[in-house]
Amino acid sequence: MVNIPAESQVIRLVHDLNLQLGSILVDDDFIEAFGPFVVSQFQCERLALLANLQNDTSSLEHASSWPKTTDPDQLHAQRSLFLDLNELEAHTLTQPLIAGKLIRTMSKHLADTPLSAIARLLPEADLTFVPLLGGADTVLVGLLVLEKSNDVDDERLPLDDTLLSILGTTCGAFLAHTLEHTHTVDQFSTNMHEMNILQQIDAELNDTIALDKVFEMLLDWALRFTNASAASMAMYDVDTDTLTMMLQYGYQQPDLKAGEIVPHQRGGITLRVARSGHAELIGNVQDDPDYVPLSEEMHTQLSTPIFREERVIAVMTLQSTKPNGFRDNHVNFVDKLTRRAGVAVDNARLFEQTNRERQKLSLILGGIADSVIVVDHDGHILLVNQSAVNAFNLRSESVLIGKKFTETIHHEGLIQLYKSAINRDEQVIRELELPNERTYHAAISDHSSIGIIIVMHDVTHYKETDQLKNELVATVSHDLKQPLSVMRGYLDLLQMTNEFNERSQRYVSQLFNAFHHMKQLIDDILDLARIEAGIELSLDGVDLNKVLAQSVVAIRPSADNKIINLTTDLPQLPTIRADEGRIRQIFTNLISNAVKYTPSGGWVKVSAEIKPGHVKIVVQDNGLGISPEDQAHIFDRFYRVRRPETDDIEGTGLGLAIVRSLVEAHHGEISLISRLGEGSSFRVTLPIT
């Protein structure tokens, strides 16, 4: 006889079910709430529940039971339970479940069906399988297995079709909702986790500039997040189509060392991905003709290119021992990781390249005897070589890089020279005595793109020889003065006591000329020796306009003689503290040279400019000009230009040497701009105190 449930029974069941399931959200709790309810309401001994835990509709898995079992084997068997829905559909006995119909059978009849595992969990039982339909598409989201009670006096509800179908639909809807919720929470927490990790990766990548560290970090993250069994990173050079192995993790015997080029025949899937620029996920590498096995047990390979400005620069390869070992979220994560890697790898690579160049340069600079210091435009030391370290008794080069130049180098002369070179478009040169008691020829120039370059050449040896030579010349000159005045005396006497004919008179005049030249030479030599020995300058306020005017007046007759237009263009110049006689000597010398070395009809101009901290006076002419080779020696003692145009012009070659010494004695500088055949411009800067 078929027992038709009373309407009140149905209504009560629906009501109780809703009450019972309404507050449940997490699937683990589901059985806790649902199990006791079903067992208390229905003529049922035990029940088992399987659910669609994956977010797809192809399987049911992970059984839970009520009453709960504590037997570890049973628990394990329940947890590893897996029902493939396609298999259910393919079997005639189980097929109705897919269509939402319940089936009733004894466990023993399930031996060769897809439900055999459940039969093993509930052996010797009269089973009813209730499909749980739910979700938007009303699909099978779970399966309820009820073991019928054998008690004939059971007061509870019978396992009736209608009641069970109500149970199935209501419970299915709740289960679907619960699973959906769990899945959303899982997804959310996975996304949050991934976001946190990516943030951490960004921070770490930003902090890392060493290429090997960048690779280590990337592979480490990829291995951690995807559970890959092995991983490698290879750089790719698109121009030469070569892969260079950078790092390998997890292989028993990595066959290539870091930095080694991967032979083409061993490039495998990685090389294929590098060439195509498309990531590849290969579920079973054993079927791939390009696969090069490094470890026998690998099944899945995920190779992802790393791009920089649309060029593949590296490939990250992950391998798993499981078939289809990487899921969508792994692939997505690796994709995000490699997108970030491009910039970091490229930055690290460029840094390494620059570092290598820098080391090369540092080796070269370290090997030369000249001292070199480069300072950036913010005043920090960019580069300093060993020779400079020694010259200034400093600590090692590496400690100095990045330090403020003016706070590190305690040499007033050099710092003054450095400051005066900033923003100047010409090289500033001066001789300096350094703490190691040696003399250096320091040349400082400001390069807009590099910084301030200081090169110092040790000239102590030349200075010493020069000193000896000067002393010798000064002594000889001094000793020559005496016989020279005797000669002059006798010449005068000769002229007074004799009547010479015209010819003899010419000879005597030539003797006088030679005498004057020799006297001038000796005077110049002795003057230079005095200046270099550090003559006491008699310092006082000097009116530059007055002194320059006096120099011009002194030379004007010679200029007029040669028909040279000698002009001045002078603003009101400040009074400077200097030795007036010596300042006059400087400019008289320069103006007289300009007139001397400018052919008839030319011009000579004296002009001046006031600059912050100094005044610049320029003596310019449009005369013979000086070739670059001669310019290099023009301030040397006794240096005279040997050209046909200057052969007939008399001079000692000491004038400019004296001028330079006097300018430097006043803490000024002298420089020259000249072009052969076009003229010269001597510039003297004197500090305004």
Q: Which residues bind ligand ADP (CB under 6 A)?
A: 593-594, 597, 621, 623-624, 626, 634, 639-641, 646, 651-657, 680
Closest to 353 measured CA to CA, from 209, 178, 526: 209
- Please say which residue, 652 or 661, places its beta carbon nearer to ligand ADP: 652
- Please say which residue, 164 or 656, places its beta carbon nearer to ligand ADP: 656
Amino acid at 274: A
Q: How far is the CB of 620 from ligand ADP (least distance, A)?
A: 9
Where do the DSSP E strands lie in 189-338? 230-237, 242-249, 260-262, 280-282, 300-308, 311-320
Q: How far is the CB of 671 from ligand ADP (least distance, A)?
A: 13
Which pair of tokens denotes residue 169?
């639909």
- Please say which residue, 201 or 654, places its beta carbon nearer to ligand ADP: 654
Q: Which helix (H) or strand (E) holds 586?
A: helix 580-596
From its phi and psi, is residue 194 left (phi > 0), alpha (psi between -120 and 50) or beta? alpha
- Please say which residue, 338 or 680, places its beta carbon nearer to ligand ADP: 680
- Please say which residue, 342 or 623, places its beta carbon nearer to ligand ADP: 623
Q: What angle do CA 289, 290, 293 make, to 5 degrees?
A: 100
Q: How far is the CB of 644 from ligand ADP (least distance, A)?
A: 12
DSSP assignment string, 256-295: S-TTEEEPGGG-HHHHHHHHH---EEES-GGG-TT---SS
Rounded alpha-carbon distances, angstroms, from residue 429 to 327, 432, 445: 70, 10, 9
Q: How far is the CB of 598 from ligand ADP (least distance, A)?
A: 7
- Please say which residue, 396 or 565, places its beta carbon nearer to ligand ADP: 565
Three-state secondary-structure class, residue 682? strand
Q: How far is the CB of 667 from ligand ADP (least distance, A)?
A: 21
- DSSP state at residue 144: E
Q: How far is the CB of 521 from ligand ADP (least distance, A)?
A: 9
Rounded alpha-carbon distances, angstroms, from residue 598 to 96, 464, 564, 569, 647: 119, 36, 8, 19, 14
Q: How far is the CB of 546 from ligand ADP (least distance, A)?
A: 23
- Please say which residue, 414 or 522, places its beta carbon nearer to ligand ADP: 522
- Please say which residue, 551 or 680, places its beta carbon nearer to ligand ADP: 680
- Please say which residue, 12 or 633, places its beta carbon nearer to ligand ADP: 633
Q: How far is the CB of 640 from ligand ADP (least distance, A)?
A: 4
Q: Is 4 exposed, middle or buried (0-12, 13-18, 19+ CB in 10 A)?
A: exposed
Phi, psi of 404 (to 5 degrees): -70, 130
Any residues with CB less than 8 A from the CB of 555 and at least 6 apart, and which? 566, 588, 591, 592, 595
- Please say which residue, 653 or 687, places its beta carbon nearer to ligand ADP: 653
Q: How far is the CB of 520 from ligand ADP (least distance, A)?
A: 9
Q: How far is the CB of 649 from ligand ADP (least distance, A)?
A: 7
CB atoms within 10 A of CB 268: 22
- Please say which residue, 584 or 640, places its beta carbon nearer to ligand ADP: 640
CA pair distance 565, 555, nearest whole angstrom: 11
Note whether 142 and 60 are within 8 A (CB). Answer: yes
CA pair distance 52, 59, nearest whole angstrom: 6
Which pair of tokens denotes residue 97?
């479940």
CA pair distance 471, 482, nearest whole angstrom: 18
Q: How far is the CB of 634 from ligand ADP (least distance, A)?
A: 5
